[in-house]
Amino acid sequence: MPHRLKGMVRSGELAAGTFLVEFLTPGIGHILAGAGCDFAFLDMEHSGFSTETVKAALRFLEAGGVPTVVRVPSRDAHDIARIADMGAEGVMVSLVGTAEVARDAVAALKYPPEGHRGVALQVAHDNYRSGPAATKLAAANERTTLFLMIETAEGVENVEAIAAVPGVDVLWLGHFDLSASLGIPGAFDHPRFRAATERICAAARAQGLGLGRLVTSMPEASQAWRDGFRLLAWGGDAWLLQAAVADGVTRLRRLADG
- The Cβ of residue 130 has, within 10 Å, a number of other Cβ atoms equal to 9
Q: Which residues have CB under 8 Å from 198's CB, separation 6+?
A: 227
**3-class SS letters over 56-78:** HHHHHHHHCCCCEEEECCCCCHH
Nearest to 102 by CA among 118, 112, 86, 91: 91
Q: Which residues have CB under 8 Å from 207's CB, separation 6+?
A: 163, 164, 168
- The Cβ of residue 119 has, within 10 Å, a number of other Cβ atoms equal to 12
Query: Does the active-site annotation cover 46?
Result: yes
Q: Which of 3, 30, 46, 125 is catalytic?
A: 46
Q: From CA 137, how far away is CA 121, in angstroms rounded?
A: 9
Looking at the annotation, which residues are catalytic?
A: 46
